[in-house]
């Protein structure tokens, strides 16, 4: 099992569809992240989840809805997206609680909105 697994790897959806991206980590980490990577912008932090709190980037539109049912799973629910939402969505996890706290990334979900 790889450390951080994202599914699906590729997703094509229409603007009226509802879909979800899934992330699972097998590293025993206690914080999980969603980032958006598009060609025209640097990696954009969307959401951070830990057992204690949720942190979000206030500029993320409400058509993106995160869900973190437990410390190993993270979802990004997508509804009524726009073409500009097409991007690579990266999930990451970290141990937190001191140390370097580096992020471990999944391979990403490539989203195309038609």
Q: Give the footprint of other proteins on residues 92-111 (CB under 8 A).
A: 92, 94-105, 107-108
Say which residues have a Cβ less than 8 Å from residue 58's Cβ, sequence separation at least 6. Answer: none
- Provide the minimum distance between the beta carbon of 107 and other proteins in the complex, in angstroms, as a whole number: 6
Of positions 34, 49, 64, 89, contacts other proteins by CB under 8 A: 49
Contact between 30 and other proteins by CB under 8 A: the answer reads yes
Please state, as a whole number, how many other Cβ atoms lie within 10 Å of the Cβ of residue 35.
21
Contact range with other proteins by CB under 8 A, out of 18-26, 58-66, 74-82, 84-92: 84-92
**In whole angstroms, what is the distance from residue 99 CA to residue 7 CA?**
29
Tokens (6 digits) for 74:
């993270």
The reply to whether 17 sits near other proteins by the rule CB under 8 A is no
Choices 17-25, 41-49, 59-67, 78-86 (CB under 8 A): range interacting with other proteins: 41-49
Tell the smallest beta-carbon distance from residue 105 to other proteins (Å): 4
Which residues of this chain interact with other proteins, rule CB under 8 A?
30-31, 33, 35, 41-43, 45, 48-55, 88, 90, 92, 94-105, 107-108
């Amino acid at each position: 099992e790889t450390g951080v697994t994202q599914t699906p790897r590729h997703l094509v959806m229409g603007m009226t569809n509802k879909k979800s991206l899934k992330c699972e980590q097998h590293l025993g980490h206690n914080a999980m992240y969603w980032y958006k990577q598009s060609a025209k912008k640097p990696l954009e932090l969307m959401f951070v989840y830990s057992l204690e709190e949720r942190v979000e980037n206030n500029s993320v539109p409400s058509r993106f809805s995160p869900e973190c049912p437990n410390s190993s799973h993270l979802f990004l629910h997508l509804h009524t997206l726009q073409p500009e939402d097409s991007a690579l969505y990266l999930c990451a996890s970290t141990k937190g609680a001191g140390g370097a706290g580096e992020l471990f990334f999944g391979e990403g979900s490539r989203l195309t909105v038609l």
